[in-house]
Each structure stands twice: as C-alpha cells, then as structure tokens.
Amino acid sequence: MTGPLAGVRVLEFAGIGPGPFAGMLLADQGADVVRLERPPSGAPAHREPRFDVMQRGKRSFGLDLRQPAGVELALELVARADAVIEGFRPGVMERLGVGPAECFASNPRLIFGRMTGWGQGGPLADRAGHDINYVALSGALYAIGRSGKAPVPPLNLVGDFGGGGLLLAFGILAALLESRGSGCGQVVDAAMVDGAALLTALFHGMVAEGRWSDERGTNMLDSGAPYYEVYACADGQFVAVGAIEPQFYTALLGVMGLDETDLPPASDQSAWPELKERFGSVFATKTRDEWIALAERTDACITPVLSFGESPRHPHNVARETFVEVGGVVQPAPAPRFSRTGASSPLPPLGPGGGGRAALLDWGVAAQRVEELARAGVVMVE
C-alpha cells in the first residue's frame, strides 16, 4: 500500500460500524491495518466479503483471547503496532487482559484508540445504544426535520461515522503526531455522543446569538428558508437549492423566471412560507433534469438529488473519480487526496482470516509458531 500513512501499523479488534470505518480510513491512506477477528461462532456467514466495504485494504485473522496464548500473541503484536482500535463497552478489553495498562507495558508509545457511544466515563458509559441514541442526546437529532413533524434520523452518518469513526481516526493521527515528540503513547477516548455534539458547534454559536430557533423547520438551514430547500419536480424527482448569498439568490430567481421585485424580500422570515409555496409551484412545472440543464452554467446553487445508484454516474463524480469499483462493488474512493503521497487503489475486502498468515509473518511472528498456534486453535488464518 502507498499513501501518507505507509509504514503505520494498526491493530483493529473486530467490531461493527464506526471502529471498522476508522480502520478503513487509515488503511485507505496506506496504513497496515490488521483486524483481529473473534473466534467463529459456528453460525454460517451470510454475506460475501466483497460487500463488507469497510474492511477493504485490511488483513485479518481469528484470535481466541480466552486462551492465554491468544492474549500473549495479542500483546506481542501490540508491541509492534503504532495504534490499536477497539470498540467494546468500557472494561471489556481490561477483562480480556489487553487493556491500556497491559498494552502500554508492552509498548509505551502505543496509541490506544477507544470507540464507544457514551464514552469511557459518565452515567451512561456502560449502557447499550446506537447512533440514533447518541445523536439524540447530543442535540443534533432534535434539530433535523420539518416544521410540525417529528425529528428525522439522518441515517447513521452523524453518530457512527462523522462523530464516531472519523473523529477516532483524527484522534489517533493527532496522538501519533504528538508521540513523535514525546515518545509516549496515550488513550484516545472517542465517544459518538461527543463527536455528534462537536458537529453542532456552528449551531451553538447561532443559538447564543439568537439566530437559531428550537422550532424545527423554521431556520435557514433546516428547511425553513425558501432558498435552502428540496423541491419536487414534474417527474417526481427532486432538486436541492442552496442559494443563501444574495448574488446566488438572484441567479436562482433568474433560472426560475421570477422577478425579485414581484416577491417579498427573502430576508423577511415571515414571508418564507409564501416564497416556498411559490418556488414549489414553479419547480413542479419541469422535470429534475430540465431544471439542471437550465441551471448548468449559473451560480444558482441548484443540484439534482441523486440516489446511491445515480451518484457514481454523475459527470462531476466521474471526472474526479469520486467512486471506484473494488471487487465488483461500486463504492466511495479514498479521501481526501494528496498531491505527493497519493494512496493506491483500495484492495478488496477479504473474508475472516484473509491474509492473516502473511500479516503475522510481516509483523515478525515466526512461521513455525503461526502453525503451532493455528493447530492449537488460538489463531485462525488463511
């Protein structure tokens, strides 16, 4: 693998959602990410490995941490790692014998990345939860939705991935950078509730300034404003409008064929419902693609609302190679991009144990020992 993180070694203790996403981000940029799988449960696998996109670029092997030899091997690998990713509830890694104390004893420079919903401390730390719960407690969910309607879950983008995995990857990289000078490792406590709250920084400033109302669907960015909205078109498809600045708003009206002097001022919030109704009736007269053709060479800030299937085919995304095909599966390409140390194309996800034998050898475990551990059922490799 090439990329700015080439040479960085990461151990990822198998989990779901944000932990694997953080590992994927690091692997995308060249890190050698080895995933430690839990021993097979006996249940048959129902998913082809190639569809598990967040495992791309990683190698893995099964490791039985219930056996002392498994813990010993884990700590041996920790000694050769730059960072660890784990996503268990607080205390689980400690009970397994691979918590921060044991890992720092093996490797004082280690960055120990911990991904949880509620964090390592606090009254909810040991409680179950999912993205929707963390986003709700952060205040973000309350603000997402239309006037008079219930809040709308924003998929699991805000908690799991934006406030979770992405923040964990950022924290690991920040800690790795600091450790180069100090020679010391540390724990990165990445909590999805913290990350989701962090993503609302702009809005807390607006609330304090008196520029944001708790009434959903009445603010500039939450579907309240006519110039920041999604409108239905004649074919049942949608366009997204984001013409906030005056010059872009003027361009928007030009595309719609409306005269600004015949309309109430966009700055008059009491007139927003009237303007939205007027805009909606105009957009309903043409298809989505007809509107996009009219707006193509303008700064009206009109874009088509594309499905997951349509987005990879849009000319802009095609030109930038925003999506790639890996193992026959179309998926987002690694991001961001680097001018000098660009990452290689992602490698297809491997099944459990895929590349594990080679990974162990690369990390300095003798071939004979790998075979002995495999025969004893401590490791499961391909």
Q: What residues are annotated to the active site?
A: 130, 160
* Residue 84: burial class (beta carbons within 10 Å; 0-12, 13-18, 19+): buried
Task: Name which of 152, 177, 157, 171 is nearest 230 in CA terms.
Answer: 152
Which residues of the chain form beta strands (DSSP E)?
9-13, 32-37, 59-63, 83-86, 111-116, 186-191, 228-232, 238-242, 302-304, 323-326, 329-332, 379-380
H or E segment and range at residue 137: helix 131-138
Q: Which residue has tokens 């986003």?
A: 135
Cα 9 → chain centroid: 21
With beta carbons less than 8 A apart as the criterion, state whether 283 and 231 touch.
yes
Q: How many CB atoms lie within 10 A of CB 140?
A: 23
Alpha carbon distance 241, 275 (integer Å): 13
Give strand pairing partners of 304. Answer: 239
CB 30 within 8 A of CB 4: yes
Of residues 41, 25, 38, 140, the one with CA closest to residue 88: 38
Is the CB of residue 293 less than 8 Å from the CB of residue 300?
no
- Nearest-angstrom CA–CA distance, 288 and 37: 46
Write out the two tokens for 105. Answer: 């004893």
Where b means 16+ CB within 10 Å and e means fewer, 330-365 reads ebebbeeeeeeeebebbbbbbbbbbbbbebbeebeb
The values of phi and psi at residue 370, to 5°, are -60, -45
Helix or strand holding residue 288 (H, E): helix 288-295
